[in-house]
Structure 1
Amino acid sequence: MAEQYKYLDSFIDVQRANGKYSFTTENLHDQLDVSENALKKSLQRLKNQGEVVLIRRGFYVIVPPEYRAKGIIPTSLYVNDLMKFLNRDYYVGLLNAAAYHGAAHQQPQSYSIITKGITLRPIRNHKVSIAFYIKKEWDKKDIMKRKVDSGYINISSPELTALDLVNYYKEAGGFNRIATIIEELKEAMQADILIETARKYEEVAVVQRLGYILEYVLEEHEFSNGLYNYLESINYYPTLLRPQRKKSENMITGNRWKIVPNVEIETDI
């Protein structure tokens, strides 16, 4: 059994030497000539020692000594490999993307991944919290590559991040929080790129809400005027600032965004 442990330890050493923080059981079966039972026992030993963590069935991450106290490595170090394992196109979004762009108002409680296809169960335990959000489509031009120690990860551009924060306002902590983050995020945004990203965004109501927040909450007129010029070129209709199941009896908006302000928004800044 000690010899079998050596095989697995050597395999992990090679992974780390190649800058990898993860592996799959398929990798192990391909490269190690040991029985299924021996492999399970070896993996259990490493799990008990805190040297590896099972993230999703068949997918493990390696925990180097410098991360043992935390019990897990940062999600950014293995997210790209995880999504390859799941065979999904993806990008890191919402609060995590905002943090990469310098809008780190608060440490995100969960790691947000936008992906396509059928719904994926979240990964949540005492060490890991990853939430998956499904989208039908996005433009690759709105996705950026960000360098991390293990390679590159996909993140949403500042402009796409702002729109997504409005779209997933509940998951991002509510309108007050996202307004605060967008206030910081706008330093990394460009007005012309925001317009182009908005043109491709699947929900026009999200563009209306973002424009309203930029104008009335953040008093950011360069960005808001650009979005309004885009909206003038299409058909858009009165909508609630905060979506709700029951439609408001009074849909009078009183603003150019055709937004019914059914909630007050205040930033924390």
Structure 2
Amino acid sequence: MPTLTFGEVRQAFPNASEQVVKNELFRLSAQKIIVSVYRGFYVIIPPHYASQGVVPPHYYIDRLMAHQNKPYYISLLSAAALLGAAHQRPQKFFVTTVLPKPSVSPSKNNLLMWSYRKEIPSDFLLTKNSETGTLRYSNAELTAIDLIQYEQYIGGLSEAATVLAELSERLDFRRVSRRLFDYTSQATLQRLGYVLEEVLLQTEVADALYEKLRAYAGRLRYVPLSTRSTEAMAAKNDRWKIDINMTIEPDDL
């Protein structure tokens, strides 16, 4: 087994005291035989990662989430990378799971970046085999929505637009069920449509999203492009009903 938990070790060695088990796990960690990636959860460092002393999250994330008994999916920049649409390798590993948030400090593993939903949109996930299990990650359309909805986690709307520029060739909102829209806000979809059409000039993709959004929501109401911008509103976009209160500047690809 490539992973183990504190509870499993206690169960395997019932005659050992809690402190003895803690001391032994600490010793193995100091020797770089195992690494603690979450409170009470350890990964046995495989030989091909031994020189780095760091095990990438894709190696253990499926087992970690099973240990927590929580559904999850790899999201945002990490999902985009799996979809072939990350212009640079993300420094964090983005995981979305359900509320409530765990009490463990995020400093325990600074490679993991968590976001939370009330419910996981399971019908819109893809799977991929890994060294230790099955990875679950968002499909292209859910990834696009998440990039806008959770833009504060990835550096803002300009970063979201940069990734969307590469992801856009995989987007086809005509093929996805409208139930996908149940997992986000109408405002997020308006912002996504605006970015696709006006910033990235992806008219065909934007048109498909617009048709499905109008059928789903009916009349659109004006929303700010950014809820965090302090800039004055410069103009309005009548089609997507966007108050343009910031300038989106994607990186050159």
TM-score, normalising length: structure 2: 0.89
SS in 2 for 1:88: coil
Residue equivalent to 2:249: 266
- Name stretches of at least 5 consecutive residues in structure 1 with no aligned partner: 1-14, 16-20
**Once the two structures are superposed, what CA deviation does each residue of 1:107-156 show, in whole Å capped at 9, x if it has no partner?**
2122111111212355335x742121111124311111121111101111
**Shift of the alpha carbon at 1:104?**
1.9
Aligned residue among 12, 15, 23 for 1:31: 12
State how far apart, in whole Å, the 2-side matches of 1:138 and 1:87 are: 13
Deviation of the 1:179 alpha carbon: 0.8
Tell whether 2:208 aligns with 1:236.
no
Greater alpha carbon shift after TM alignment, 116-125 vs 156-165: 116-125
Aligned match for 1:76, one of 58, 70, 73: 58
Between structure 1 and structure 2, the one with the greater Rg is 1
Out of 163-172 and 236-245, give the one that drifted further.
236-245
Paired residue type of 2:221: Y
Residues 197, 100 of structure 1: alpha-carbon distance in 2 compared, 3 angstrom cutoff: farther
Structure 1 residue 188: Cα displacement: 2.5
Partner residue of 1:63 out of 26, 29, 45: 45
Q: Distance in 2 between matches of 1:197 and 1:102?
A: 25
CA deviation digits over 1:57-109, x for unaligned, max 9? 21111112321221121101111111122221111100000000001212212
Secondary structure of 1:193's aligned partner? coil
Secondary structure, aligned partner of 2:8: helix
Match of 2:182 among 186, 200, 203: 200
Do the aligned residues in 1 keep the contact of 2:79 with 2:143 (CA within 8 Å)? yes
Unaligned runs of 5+ in 2: none
**2:107 is aligned with 1:144:** no
User: In the alignment, what sits opposite 2:70?
Assistant: 88
Find the residue that maps to 2:236 and give its secondary structure: coil
| Kept after mapping to 2: 8 A contact 1:238/1:251 | no
1:257 aligns with 2:240: yes
Instruction: Give the one of 163, 183, 199 matched to 1:217.
Output: 199
For 1:188 and 1:246, the matched residues in 2 are separated by 33
Residue 5 (structure 1) aligns with: none
The Cα of 1:160 is off from its aligned counterpart by: 0.2
Q: Percent identity?
A: 32
How much has 1:242 moved relative to structure 2?
A: 0.9
Aligned residues: 248
Secondary structure at the aligned position of 1:108 is classed as: coil
In the TM superposition, what are the counterparts of 1:180-195 in structure 2 within 5 Å?
A: 180-193=162-175
1:200-251 per-position Cα deviation (integer Å, ceiling 9, x unaligned):
3321100000000110111111211111112323232100111138796x69
**Cα distance in 2 for residues equivalent to 1:143 and 1:122:** 28
Contact residue 91 and residue 114 of structure 1 kept, 8 A: yes
2:234 and 2:245 in contact (8 A); partners too: no
Q: Does 1:227 align with 2:206?
A: no
Question: 2:16 is matched by which residue type in structure 1?
Answer: S
Distance 1:198 1:238, change over 3 A: farther
After the TM superposition, which parts of structure 1 deviate over 4 Å for at least 4 consecutive aligned residues?
245-248
The amino acid of 2:8's aligned partner reads: N
| Alignment partner, residue 87 of structure 2 | 105
Are the counterparts in 2 of residues 96 and 108 from structure 1 also a CA contact under 8 Å?
yes
Partner of 1:8: none
CA distance in 2, matches of 1:178, 1:75: 22
Structure 1 residue 181, shift from structure 2 partner: 0.5
Counterpart in 2 of 1:171?
153
Q: Is the 8 A contact 2:76 2:147 kept in 1?
A: yes
